[in-house]
Structure 1
Amino acid sequence: MAYEELPGESEPEDELPHGDVTEGVVRVGATVRRPVRAQSGAVADYLQHLEAVGFRGAPRFLGRDRAGRDVLDFVPGAVAGDPPPAWAADDELLRSVGRLLRDLHDASEGYAADRGFAAPTGTQWFRWPSPSEAGPAAVPVGPPPELVGHNDVTPQNVVVREGRAVALIDFDLAGPTTRLEDLVNTATHWVPLRAPADVWPGWSRTRQPERLRVLADAYGLGAAERASLVDVAVARADRMWWAMRGAAEHLGGGWARMWDHGVGDLIRRRQRWLLDHRDDLRAALA
């Protein structure tokens, strides 16, 4: 991809809050500059598809700057910090997250119709590495994908204006998935589906079964998917434990820091909590 002279090249760079993994993200005028990753080409192609089909809930990909960084639209609005503040626990905001995710999935359905779910030639999606000591049978396999999704709809990756979710950002983990898997991942962070000891300050009064229903209703989730959602969440927690362990070992950096800070234990506590509260969660969804 050729480097281009893009709007704002001469403007100062302002560092933006970074997540657990990606650093070096800056704002330059009305654009955001992000370091290129192995998956950047696939993500750019996906964002261009979303723009072409009229989805307005994602930044536009504008090209590469002279420093070789990806250049995206800056989407104005509020983004929750880490840990997310109490305002992010609002039920109306949760409803808008569900609607935005549904719009993304509907816009994504035709993305890879002509080539399955492979990334464009010469690019790749983000790949979760397996721990070295794990045999092939030890790591659970996810369901066959049905579309390309975001796969990381955390409060830190949603832009909010006037109390409503208006856009998703940070598509680094985008890739083949299912509607329900992406929704479960979203619920993990927004309901949140986690043990009480791990719920953030200011979120302690959230009613998790009821909020799970709010999210499912806003998304328009069907009866069959509601019946299987909790089991999908339990199975996904198991896969994510292995995925995070492998990422910590092979990718290092922020992945290793998260593992050292106990993310593996948090995932196992979430899994036990889901099993212990499976009946309550299923009843709320029904």
Structure 2
Amino acid sequence: MIEDGEEIPLVGGDVTEGLVRVGDTVRRPPGERADMVQEVLLHLERAGFDGAPRFLGIDSKGRHALTYIDGEVAGRPRPAWIADEDRMLSVARLLRTYHAAIEPFGVPGNLPAPIEPPGLPELNDPPELVGHQDVTPENVVFREGRAYALIDFDMARPVSRVADFVNLMLWWAPLGADADLEPELRGLDRPRRSRLLADAYGLSDADRKRVLPLAIARNERAWHTMRYRAETLGGGWQRMWSEGVGDQIRRRQTWLEENADPLTTALLG
């Protein structure tokens, strides 16, 4: 039995609403792939992976009840340590450890269709595991300056390792025009940081060659998906679109195309 109690609102990500803390638990409304997320978290617990919340059950309001993981999270405005390379590398290692733990779970079938516009071109990127797909600063819990846990698995889905690594690079290299980045993340040597991330993760040479083509293709796809979700789902998706996320994605596309060569050269050494 999941007990109720005093609810303390928590600041969620860009689209998560109704997130609260009750005692030492977090309550969150189920997302697009709620059943899969539940099974993923139960698998990670059985696998002994400590870097994710434990699924405790469904509370009286139909919300997922998860363990609350204490630690530092980089909200907004970003803390000064957001650009720290040691922290960045610990995120890459945590993602690799997560991949090792989730790989035996396999690639589930019969999942709900993704909420995206019809007719998008195929990426030719077969899924290999259930990736987290949302390794934003808000979704990484740090302890003693090291990435300790991933939270918020609502965007988890079957993807390739490279696709999850691209998501890691997006937020932690990070990828995009300086003007669109937080002040603490401007002026960084992104090719060098991308290489450090790949080394810390242990990305294979074959996968390193795929990073930039996939990043460019996924970014182009993201523009269409974000617009479609804003139009069909509203809420946080509509707010982000109204605030100009579509324009930001377009600027990132230009940046990726202009910097593809130096980024790839750095990744391949």
Which TM-score applies when normalising by structure 2?
Answer: 0.95
- Is the contact between residue 59 and residue 74 of structure 1 (CA under 8 Å) also seen in structure 2? yes
Alignment of 1:81-96 (within 5 A): 81-96=75-90
Paired AA for residue 249 in structure 1: E
RMSD: 1.5
Aligned to 1:165: 147
1:5 and 2:22 are equivalent in the alignment: no
Aligned to 2:193: 211
Aligned partner of residue 225 in structure 1, secondary structure? helix
Return closer, same or farther for 1:36/1:227 CA change in 2, 3 Å cut-off: closer
Paired AA for residue 210 in structure 2: S
Give, in whole Å, the separation in 1 of the partners of 2:26 and 2:238: 26
1:118 and 2:109 are equivalent in the alignment: yes
- Is the contact between residue 126 and residue 173 of structure 1 (CA under 8 Å) also seen in structure 2? no
| CA displacement, residues 36-82 of structure 1 (integer Å, 9 cap, x when unaligned) | 23422211111101111111110000001122211000000011113
1:128 and 2:115 are equivalent in the alignment: yes
Aligned to 1:22: 16
- What is the CA-CA distance between 1:234 and the residue it aligns to? 0.7
| Residue segments in structure 1 that go unaligned for 5+ positions in a row | none
How many residues are matched?
Answer: 267
Give, in whole Å, the separation in 1 of the partners of 2:131 and 2:113: 12
Give, in whole Å, the separation in 2 of the partners of 1:129 and 1:237: 14
Aligned to 2:25: 31
Aligned to 1:99: 93
Aligned partner of residue 254 in structure 1, secondary structure? helix
Question: Residue 284 of structure 1: which of 239, 250, 266 is its match?
Answer: 266
Identity %: 51
- What is the CA-CA distance between 1:83 and the residue it aligns to? 4.5
Aligned to 1:140: 121
Aligned partner of residue 167 in structure 1, secondary structure? strand
- What is the CA-CA distance between 1:86 and the residue it aligns to? 2.7
Paired AA for residue 163 in structure 2: E
Question: Residue 241 of structure 2: which of 254, 259, 265 is its match?
Answer: 259
Bigger fraction of residues in helix? 2
Question: Residue 247 of structure 1: which of 214, 229, 237 is its match?
Answer: 229
Give, in whole Å, the separation in 2 of the partners of 1:37 and 1:224: 34
Aligned partner of residue 56 in structure 2, secondary structure? strand
